Amino acid sequence: MSAVQLHNLRKVHENGFVALDGVTLDIADGEFFVLLGPSGCGKTTVLRMVAGVDSPTHGDVRFDGVSVVEVPSRDRNVSMVFQNYALYPTMTVRENIGFSLRVGKVKKSTAASSVNDIAAAFELTELLDRLPSQLSGGERQRVAMARAMLREPNVFLMDEPLANLDASLREKVRSEVSRLQRRVGVTMLYVTHDQVEAMSMGDRVALFEDGKIVQVGSPLELYEAPRNRFVAEFLGTHAINMFRATVIEQDDKLSVLIGSQCLALGRNANRFSNLWAFVGREVLCGLRPESIGRGGAGVLDVSIEFVEQLGHELLVSANLISEACGDGSTPSIRASLPIGTHVPRWEAISFSVDTERIHLFDVETGESLANLH
């Protein structure tokens, strides 16, 4: 297993396009590290450089502190699984999975039991004697992952490996990959654009935008303390509510005014650096649907528009009973409420807001106003 260090990686393509710009990361030995971001932000480019199938224009890739930029891909002992990973078409599932062990000349009986163990973990036991052409896309993908995991590489690279699986299988394989990675202790760099995968699998996550890292941290850090608006909007199962609001002062206390409704910040104002300087100014106020409740203090008055029954929760869309916000938008809001909550359509009710979980951002830069140290 290896720790992986990326130092100031820059990649400029022949047409002048800058795919990566100043990417620096320190990934610990045995860490499950997720590279997250929208399509085209440079995630795969990072993996290709760690694998050695592409080289940086500038910067360094190190395994355990030693530069591997000049080391050919085949000598790096990395294992890579892509979204569409090719299997050997004339080999059975058993032979495909065991291929690397055969090449490595492991004892036959040891190899057979390793193949059986990993096949069981990925629910492939019944399929061991089939050819790839006799498998579904999802089954082929699981064979590819089982084969890659059996190789025991220094570093494991996965690029959207679950994208072709259906929802229920994706959930299952997601936990299987996490479990196996922890058991084997291999360093994992895992690329996805799916924030649920990042939140549920990663020890740490780096969120990318336009070839740059926006924030690195544990999934919960990114979710609870987003550095800017982009991070806040990228993470979360339901999109964060984002309002234009004005910071106001009443009786020596700070509040935010959304439309004509006031949210008192109380001692939570201390979570933000120098918020007094924003009095009378516009900010962006982010409220996650899951930090809005029914009853309690009841700080935002809304009229219910419609309710989505999601089985485990109610996703409620409502309009703030208010004048328009600073940008003239209708202040609508979504809340995630427990099943069974009484939410009469079109009626006016009060949503309580967990003010400890309010996010505030600079309107111009999108940077968080919270103390993030």
Which residues are near ligand ATP by CB under 6 A? 13, 15, 17, 19, 37, 39-45, 193
Query: Residue 252: phi, psi to the nearest 5?
Result: 65, 15
Position closest to ligand ATP via CB: 44
Strands (E), the chain: 4-12, 18-27, 32-36, 58-63, 66-67, 78-81, 155-159, 187-192, 204-209, 212-217, 241-250, 253-258, 261-264, 282-287, 292-294, 300-309, 314-320, 332-337, 348-353, 359-362
Calculate the alpha carbon distances from 279 to 30, 138, 299, 325, 327 in Å.
47, 55, 20, 17, 18
Name the nearest CA neighbour of 360 among 285, 310, 307, 266. 285
C-beta of 9: minimal distance to ligand ATP in Å?
11
Tell me the CA end-to-end span of the chain in Å, nearest whole number.
32
C-beta of 47: minimal distance to ligand ATP in Å?
8
C-beta of 165: minimal distance to ligand ATP in Å?
16
C-beta of 368: minimal distance to ligand ATP in Å?
24
Determine the Cα–Cα distance for residues 106 and 81; give it in Å rounded to an integer: 22
Strands (E), 210-299: 212-217, 241-250, 253-258, 261-264, 282-287, 292-294
Which of 31, 160 has the CB closer to ligand ATP? 160
Which of 41, 349 has the CB closer to ligand ATP? 41
C-beta of 346: minimal distance to ligand ATP in Å?
41
C-beta of 19: minimal distance to ligand ATP in Å?
4
Element of type H or E holding 357: none
Name the nearest CA neighbour of 154 among 61, 63, 34. 63
Name the nearest CA neighbour of 211 among 44, 38, 18. 18
Which of 210, 290 has the CB closer to ligand ATP? 210
C-beta of 3: minimal distance to ligand ATP in Å?
23
Query: Residue 242: phi, psi to the nearest 5?
Result: -125, 120
User: Which own/partner contact pairs does 98-107 have at CB distance under 8 Å and 24+ positions apart?
Assistant: 98/150, 99/147, 100/147, 100/150, 100/151, 101/150
Which of 127, 144 has the CB closer to ligand ATP? 144
Q: Which two tokens stand for residue 11?
A: 């990649």
Which of 42, 132 has the CB closer to ligand ATP? 42
> In Å, how far from its chain's centre is CA 359?
19
C-beta of 204: minimal distance to ligand ATP in Å?
18
Name the nearest CA neighbour of 33 among 203, 218, 281. 203
Which of 41, 148 has the CB closer to ligand ATP? 41
Determine the Cα–Cα distance for residues 31 and 37; give it in Å rounded to an integer: 19
C-beta of 56: minimal distance to ligand ATP in Å?
13
